[in-house]
Amino acid sequence: MMNISYCLQTVLFLALCIAGCGGGDAGGNPPVNNSNPPVAGWQRQSENPLIVPILTNTIQDHGPADPSILFDNEDNKWKAWFSSTLEDRVSGVKTITIRYTESADGVHWSNPQTVFQTASDSNAWDYTSVETPAVIKNPDPLAPAEKKYMLWYSGANTTLAASENRPSGPGALTYYQIGLAYSPDGKIFTRHLPGLNNKPGLVLVANASLFGAALPGTFGDGTTSDPEVIFKDGMFHMWLSSYAESVPNPVTPNGRLPLAFGIAHMTSSDGVIWNTNHSNPLASLFKPGDVAGGRDPSVLFNQNTNQYEMWFTNDTLTDELSIPCHFNTVIGFWHAVSNDGIQWTTDYTKYDLRYDTQYRYEALGFLRGIDVVMVSGHYQAYYSAFGTERIPDSSIYLCPDQQNNPIPAVLSLNRATYISP
């Protein structure tokens, strides 16, 4: 999804665009889920919440978002990357980072560590934000050791909006682009070089080929975020949230309203140069009677059914008004299937997974972004949610309600396992 901010603060709520991230197929034995009797459907893990923010005297961690999950057969470990905002409690400076944690069973995780940060150059395209990671192991057996892991991410530099003649201020979309970084171990990443237009890390920007030709009067190039990448049949496939801006926003004159948004699909032979040979956003994902084509995709290829599967968000504004925490939250995630990754079939009569108020850790709504992986034929969903369980400090961990009043809330990472009928 074009991601959206989730940092929570005493009275001020910092927006961070968030999108769903990297699904994929994994191996190994699935962790045992002891949460509920084995009835059909998604069963929450009894140990939820799995990861909550760590508050210290100097740093406020605003919580895990946009998870990318991988089971690594090589060392028999679960590995997770996610977006997080770290706030210096003295200076108030916030840094949007990508963090990493690992687990032997997919349930009990190590303390997260920062593995990728914003660029130090104030003129860099990703100076103010790096988020929504999608991580896979490099499928090229001849790839150098330092490129063993590949990380695609959303990046932005909001300080350049005025100089680039782009909308800025409240109501304007953040100009996100897609970057790539490599790592030998999944813990220290370096940007791809030289990068598109000689901008380190940069590999994809929104353009006419991404949005299609039927968008007259668009402002600039629009924006892209929330990459999801899998490798199949010798090609990298990316799905991502895409937006085109057009008409002025009547509420915020210097902002723009999105002309079209939805999920786009691209392919690449090397993960660097991306192309498309079809119209985007993908029309088959649009909700009937709506102009929304979804966002925040998580995609895997099911070897058993020989089909692609996608989980994504696509709530309307009316839907979002029913959620207790009004901060980039959604009711649930939709599910779609496809034979080619382009033409999708979605059951829009019901959410595949929706937040449930009986669980305190998700009682205030799901955050945009989910990652579903398949482990030995079992679906495992990792998602972030706002709730009231294990709040580090209820005076500073807050979320706006529908009247924009701050209420105690904490963002946590959780897991659910799908039990077949």
Residue 186 has pLDDT above 80, yes or no: yes
- Please compute the mean of the pLDDT values over residues 54-62 and round it to a whole number: 96
The answer on pLDDT for 32 being more than 90 is no
Cα gap 135→179, rounded to integer Å = 12
Report the alpha-carbon distance of residue 344 to residue 46 in Å, rounded.
33
Residue 365's domain comprises 3-419
pLDDT of residue 288: 82
What integer is the mean pLDDT of 116-122?
97
pLDDT at 33 over 70: no
Q: What is the pLDDT of residue 319?
A: 85
- Amino acid (1-letter code) at residue 350: K
Please count the structural domains in the chain: 1
In this prediction, residue 14 has a pLDDT band, given cuts at 50, 70 and 90, of: very low
What pLDDT score does 21 carry?
A: 40
Least trusted range by pLDDT, from 166-170, 172-176, 215-219? 215-219
From its phi and psi, is residue 302 left (phi > 0), alpha (psi between -120 and 50) or beta? beta
CB 364 within 8 A of CB 408: no
Using DSSP's 3-state secondary structure scheme, residue 194 falls into coil
* Band of pLDDT at residue 183, cut at 50, 70 and 90: very high
| From 35-39, 132-136, 252-256, 326-330, the region with the lowest mean pLDDT | 252-256
In 89-172 the beta strands, taken as DSSP E runs, fall at 94-103, 113-116, 129-137, 149-156
Statement: residue 214 has pLDDT above 90: no
Residue 211 is given by DSSP the state H
- Bin 285: left if φ > 0, else alpha if -120 < ψ < 50, else beta: alpha
pLDDT of residue 243: 79
β-sheet bridge partners, residue 236: 231, 268
pLDDT band at residue 16 using 50, 70 and 90 as cut-offs? very low
State residue 15's pLDDT score: 33
**With bands split at pLDDT 50, 70 and 90, how would you rate the model's confidence at 210?**
low
% of the chain with per-residue pLDDT over 90: 69
* pLDDT top residue among 72 and 421: 72
Residue-wise pLDDT tens digits, 137-155 = 999 999 999 999 999 999 9
Q: Is the pLDDT of residue 219 over 80?
A: no
Please report which helix (H) or strand (E) contains residue 178, including its range: strand 177-183
State the pLDDT confidence band at 12, using cuts at 50, 70 and 90.
very low
* Cα separation, 410 vs 386, whole angstroms: 5
CB 177 within 8 A of CB 153: no
- The dihedrals phi and psi of 368, each to the nearest 5 degrees, come to -55, 140
Give residue 2's pLDDT: 40
Question: Residue 344 maps to which CATH number?
Answer: 2.115.10.20
Please tell me which residue, 196 or 21, carries the higher pLDDT value: 196
- Report the pLDDT value the prediction gives residue 216, as an integer from 0 to 100: 42
Tokens of 381: 């969903």
What does pTM read for this prediction? 0.88
Assign 23 a pLDDT band (cuts: 50, 70, 90).
very low
What does the mean pLDDT of the chain come to?
Answer: 86
| Position 382 pLDDT exceeds 70 | yes
DSSP per residue, 353-388: EE--TTSGGGTTEEEEEEEEEEETTEEEEEEEEEES
Contacts of 14 (CB under 8 A, 6+ apart): 5, 7, 85, 94
| Spatial distance between the Cα atoms of 280 and 206, rounded to a whole number of angstroms | 11
Q: Which residues pair with 151 in a beta bridge?
A: 135, 181
List beta partners, residue 410.
Answer: 387
Q: How far is residue 62's CA from residue 326's CA, in Å, rounded to a whole number?
A: 16
Q: At residue 320, does pLDDT exceed 50?
A: yes
Across the range 390-397, mean pLDDT stands at 97
> Tell me, what's the pLDDT at 278?
81
Amino acid, res. 195? G
Q: Give the DSSP H/E element, type plus range, for residue 256.
A: strand 256-268
Picking from 83, 243, 87, the residue whose alpha carbon sits closest to that of residue 151 is: 83
Spatial neighbors of 8 by CB under 8 A, at least 6 apart, are 62, 63, 327, 396, 397, 398, 399, 409, 410, 411
- The answer on pLDDT for 271 being more than 50 is yes
Phi-psi region of 48 (alpha: psi -120 to 50; beta: other; left: phi over 0): beta
